[in-house]
Amino acid sequence: MDSNGQYGQQVVWTVVDSGIGPLLLAATPDGLVNVVFHATDAVRDRALARLASRLGTEPVETPGSPLLAEAIRQVRAYFAGERRDFELALDWSLISGFNRAVLRELASGVPYGTVVGYGDLARRTGQPGAAQAVGVAMGSNPLPVVVPCHRVVESDGGIGGFGGGLETKRKLLALEGVLPEPLF
């Protein structure tokens, strides 16, 4: 119990450099809970305020925390081209229902170097008419990169949208060999 008589959970965070800019990584004792793109000061502050509101405790910057160590190691290895799969405990508490089901299917069923269409992912989760809802789930993904929403594309071959920006999506798909490396 904290000083306000509330049962809050511990949330630790840090910012790591990556091939797509600074990423905020946040974890609880249950696992990695949030990854945030483009973690400049303003973006970081908004993300931390959202986490505090949703999880009921103030996140603490703790780059050396054992709760973050493996996530930091695996994220760095991924961007160095040395890791294809993330093997991390994930805290799914920021997402529920259909969105969680879609993201779990994505995490387990769409391997490195492959892509899936929104409609196909909807079918895999037993909701064949829910392609647009899959798009909403991708946009609400609290664990991008680790839960690879960048691997979801349009059925007509278009790249689709992406919360981290289309250039970030292109870079991630190029890293995985799906697209050619950007020329500039």
Q: Which of 25, 106, 121, 149 is catalytic?
A: 149
Please write down the HEC assignment for all residues of 93-152: CCCCHHHHHHHHHHHHHCCCCCCEEHHHHHHHCCCCCCHHHHHHHHHCCCCCCCCCHHHE
DSSP state of 3: T
Q: Is 8 in the active site?
A: no
CB 175 within 8 A of CB 181: no
- Residues sharing a CB contact under 8 Å with residue 162, sequence separation 6 or more, in sequence order: 138, 149, 150, 168, 169
CB 79 within 8 A of CB 175: yes
Name the residues annotated as catalytic: 149
